[in-house]
A and B are shown apart, each in its own frame.
Chain A
């Protein structure tokens, strides 16, 4: 039986004795969908039994395979009951119909193939139940309950809103969930199962617009007005399932989190320092990638923190979006060298203007595997259509045996636009280069032949006041990945690891590649929370403070500013091998970013550490990573680089 573990929402279920006789297949719902941006068919199978029914939702079919039969056409969701013979028998009943659809000339619309009388199915379809109704409707109905999952873990839950029975089916494995008496829809109960009555007092209440939340600590109110509400986007299954990001499409309904509970407050160390002041001169801080402002990463955080700190010291410091904006500066500070041509242009322009130029290298030698990984990893998830394929490809990835065009592990590889030679030239010719560790410094010397000054400075952490996050992520700890969402960030591997280990995961950051985000949602499991779009500095600080573990699995890093900030917030760090980040008193768990199994292990160990941790950074860690220390080191570097410039 071919299985998939994608788009997980509700697995197969039975309302009585599981029906494992394909002759009892009574109805098949067929819907054309987009899967990985390609047309596909999704089936919901309904088997009618004597004492209850079995529903197998989200069976995928590649239309071409339904005809060419180079493998079984039906890909069942993980957890489908029965054996291979059962799957084969189901396929035998369904495939003639699918053949007709695919071979025919008519456009395929959502429809139901009735093989036997199925009154419970028909009623559930009318009621918009998942597995019987079109996904566009069913997902919209379930969306607020899916959002509420982040609050429900291990808690008592009262559902008193439309589609409460579906909500119960969605949340029943997460907590003690019951529905209000008036919400016991007979058709829905016959479909999803007999939902228990809600407890007298519940910690989480999901209520309708006029509902009474009682004394619930967390309240989700459905169908509120748009103001201040959370949007449920009109879904376009499968690529666009339950999504709360209005950038993805038109909004179908609104709901709000009326009450929420904040995660346990963590005391943050005092990292404030008094600026020495008295400096002067104009410093232009230029980001090393063109989309650094539009899609902020750790490099952007560090640049902004640096600008703030330099201003505190008396400099006239600005964040220059484009290299041209640096004209007239007394010193140019380039943050990162990912875009080699841009880096070289900045350094050469500064040299021509006889202005000292400092460079934060962020050099994790991306050509030695980073670009390869960023190129091939998503293909390991996309190339196969079932769980076994994904597992096999990920095993090959871990062995670094995946080759795509020129992207091959073990030999230097970088796309043309990265221009690593230009980046090396920039690092060689800059007045001063800042590295995050001695290892990184040594790598820079070896790769670029640099002989000039090269200083090791700690990453500069952003110091924002944490905002409240309870309404976004709940009160329980989670794993956090905060970076631009795209292949370079390798969030897909983290999402897979979290889904397999059932670890709550929050992925936050600007969207660099929307199709990649779709893959993250596809493989991330039902517990995944995506906060698309760069959070504010305060919100990011709040997320770091609430997170149990922060993971940096990026193939190509953007500096360690966010790691430093997380370390100062007392969060356990799980970081990809080769990322230059060290601090005294800090135990960082490392893993190979190509090896999802290793990542899963490291994340699990980090999770265990977090559950035991006091979340108080060691004094020596605070001393090493306090922004004041980093700023002083940078200014010393400026002085070294530009003794003959107006920088004082």
Chain B
């Protein structure tokens, strides 16, 4: 294969010179065209200013040229970067119908060549081989626009445009002074009206990655490459089996399921767990080839709000539809008897959720304006009454007509009950057992009257208008799962460190200014931890209530948020809404006190979030009836007076949790006879018990506040055998048989026998 080297001034043909029939110098685009016209060889190797072929650039080069070759590009080594060229990505909201998506890799990046080898939209400038006929007319002066134009000409002539990474040159980096490039690209688009962007990545890379728009803190959006989500193909219709076979051949990495009947159920089963993955529904006739599927994937990834893509509105009925299942919140179901009906339900839901349906011909329905939803406030009253009353007054002041207010307090918290009873609009629920009020809270959350449920601990005081602004966020963002107010000093994403005020009165002033300055601003957050959060009723129904293992502590709230995000719901901080959380030392709130002993919540692992929410891990609002406990035969006493003894008890319980469960005929009783409060004890031992599985199935532990140990001992049923794990030094327990953590097994085995 003969070629002529056209070398720009400042370039160094190097090895190319000895392989070429001639080397001709040129300058500028007009000079290039003139040199091309004068050349005799069918192919021209063009070297841009400063370019020099690297050693080995021409290995196997000749064999790579076919009669169909239009442009052959390679890798341009500039600094620490290897530039292979550009893909023309779609850009529907731009005055130029495509966007240059750079194809590059860091020097030394393993596996990069395989991903970029093959067809490419525009090759890297500075060293390329082109058919002579493509160069007879001048190219734009800008090197990037020139490359795009040249490659467009090649494709228009039915020739190939290929990247061959080993065909490499060293060249200066592209000049940051790229004045004129955008104009040149617009002119190019106007000359070639058929030219629109299609793909962001070259074909090799498309098999393993997608480019996705990510939102940075503050709102700026960037595109980043992420691993391509897994694909499930669901074939249906008369030829479902044949289509499945063909699908396996075309897409060997995909999981393929054939459903000749019951395709709608199969689709629902596929969508049971929402995660970052695609489900393709196709019948025998509509099964796409690799290129068509890639086009659908690019449509889905063109924006984070695209949920469905199909080649046409007709295909949207089931012929060929790509569903980004993670972009449908968990409560959205593909309801319907047939696959058409199921897909129509998804399409309708997508429109209602302001998700895009990318199918030519699909008409977006006119949607009614969404009105502000009614709210149910679930108020957890467990702090000191003075604090509780302050928060309660603020919360009640925020109520709108039609809102519902449920307060939860301990069954024995008489003061709290009296306080709450003074407000006729407050419905009171009680929690008989949990100082964190988890059961009561879950019961109240289970059946809210409003579409938005606000969980509000009584050590959090809302500023004026906060509830209204939280509620408005759900109107603006249909797929919102949870909205937190901004809470100064909080541990989660709702926390703000730059807000200061002297007292609660001053806080109202700050809140008012903030409400104006940052009106309707929300910031998506990865985790939230304050028990002051507005939740969508639908989202809550999908993921369940507060995990009793944690209660409404910051770990419990963070866990709830993690479930919501996994289930496809948005979680945000409302920057225009401010809430104040009282210091635990002041409020004496048990959950807040428990937070002190727990690690700060961390956002869920992105990989776990990408796997999606498993409906099996939904937390029921009402605890299941525990397995019938075996009649206790042994009682193990753990006396706890101070924090040190609580730690001692924790060590024992850790061992116990490994040996026992709730069905064991052994009961452990923490006897609180000192300064440690029940809430502190619960907070300390909850994680230990939860580590053994669901808390309902963990070792049977009772916490009792005991003023007189002797009386407690005397009141025990006579058939129970009492052992002492800690507290022998108390006179009432002295002389009883001891039990070390190591000896737990010995105790259990005879009991089981």
Contacts and interface: CB of A to CB of B under 8 A. Distances in A.
Interface string A104-146: 1111100000000000000000000000000000000000000
Contacts of A239: 182
Contacts of B180: 247-249
Contact of A248 (B93, B183, B362): B183
Given A103-B357, A104-B356, 19 more contacts: A33-B95, A39-B91, A64-B215, A65-B219, A70-B522, A70-B523, A70-B524, A71-B521, A72-B521, A100-B364, A105-B362, A107-B196, A233-B183, A236-B95, A237-B95, A247-B179, A249-B182, A384-B219, A510-B177
B572 interface: yes
Contacts of A240: 182-183
A383 B182 contact: no
A647 interface: no
Contacts of A16: none
A69 B95 contact: no
A486 B92 contact: no
B305 interface: yes
A513 B95 contact: no
A68 B305 contact: yes
Interface in B347-393: 354-360, 362, 364
A512 interface: yes
Contact of B213 (A34, A64, A245, A512): A64
Interface stretch (B198-206, B512-520, B704-712): B512-520
B318 interface: no
Contacts of B181: 514
B418 interface: no
A297 B136 CA distance: 39
B753 interface: no
B178 interface: yes
* A-B complex: 9 closest residue pairs judged by Cβ atoms: A249-B183, A39-B94, A39-B93, A513-B176, A69-B476, A103-B356, A514-B179, A71-B521, A511-B177
A512 B178 CA distance: 9
A233 B182 CA distance: 12
Interface string A499-518: 00000000000111111110
Nearest to B351: A103
A532 B177 CA distance: 11
B182 A71 contact: no
A112 B662 CA distance: 70
Interface residues of B, number: 51
A417 B80 CA distance: 10
A105 B360 contact: yes
A440 interface: no
A245 B179 contact: yes
B438 to A, nearest CB: 32
A512 B94 contact: no
A108 B93 contact: yes
Nearest to A485: B177
A385 B91 contact: no
Interface residues of A, number: 57
Contacts of A383: 218, 220
B92 A107 contact: yes
Given A245-B179, A511-B179, A514-B178, A41 B93 contact: yes
B218 A67 contact: no
A441 to B, nearest CB: 33
B522 A71 contact: yes
Interface of B: 79, 91-97, 99, 176-184, 186-187, 196, 213, 215, 218-221, 299, 303-305, 354-360, 362, 364, 476-477, 516-517, 519-524, 572
Contacts of B96: 34
Contact of A69 (B184, B477, B517): B477
A293 interface: no
A234 B519 CA distance: 38
Contacts of A49: none
Contacts of B354: 67, 99, 103
A103 B522 contact: no
Contacts of A69: 476-477, 520
A250 B93 contact: no
A103 B364 contact: yes
B640 to A, nearest CB: 47
23 contacts: A33-B95, A34-B182, A39-B91, A39-B93, A39-B94, A63-B93, A64-B215, A64-B304, A70-B215, A72-B520, A101-B93, A102-B93, A103-B305, A103-B354, A103-B356, A104-B364, A105-B92, A107-B97, A247-B180, A250-B187, A383-B218, A512-B177, A514-B176
A609 interface: no
Most buried by A among B196, B213, B218: B218
Given A99-B354, A385-B219, A511-B179, A40 B522 contact: no
Nearest to A36: B220
Given A105-B358, A248-B180, A70 B572 contact: yes
Contacts of A511: 177, 179
Contacts of B97: 107
B572 A108 contact: no
Contacts of B304: 64, 68
Contacts of A382: 220
B521 A70 contact: yes
A422 interface: no
A231 to B, nearest CB: 12
Given A32-B93, A64-B213, A71 B520 contact: yes
B100 to A, nearest CB: 10
Contacts of B94: 32-34, 39
Nearest to B572: A70
Contact of B99 (A39, A71, A389): A39
- Quick one: which of B93, B97, B186, B196 has the most chain A CB within 10 A? B93
A382 B222 CA distance: 12
Given A34-B94, A102-B93, A250-B183, A64 B221 contact: yes
Nearest to B184: A249
A248 B179 contact: yes
Interface in A244-264: 245, 247-250
Contacts of B196: 107
Contacts of A385: 219-220
A479 to B, nearest CB: 24
A486 B183 contact: no
A99 B355 CA distance: 10
Interface in A78-112: 84, 99-108
A512 B93 contact: no
Contacts of A236: 95, 182-183, 186
A32 B305 contact: no
Nearest to B357: A103
A466 B250 CA distance: 73
A166 to B, nearest CB: 22
Nearest to B476: A69
A221 B297 CA distance: 55
Nearest to A30: B93
A239 B178 CA distance: 13
A388 interface: yes
A622 B520 CA distance: 60
Contacts of B359: 105
A234 B523 contact: no
Contacts of A104: 356, 364
Contacts of B218: 383-384, 389
B102 to A, nearest CB: 13
Nearest to B475: A69
A388 B96 CA distance: 30
A405 B364 CA distance: 43
B177 A514 contact: yes
A379 to B, nearest CB: 9
Nearest to B367: A96
Contacts of A389: 218
A513 B177 contact: yes
B171 to A, nearest CB: 14
Interface string A140-159: 00000000000000000000
A240 B356 CA distance: 31
A512 B175 CA distance: 8
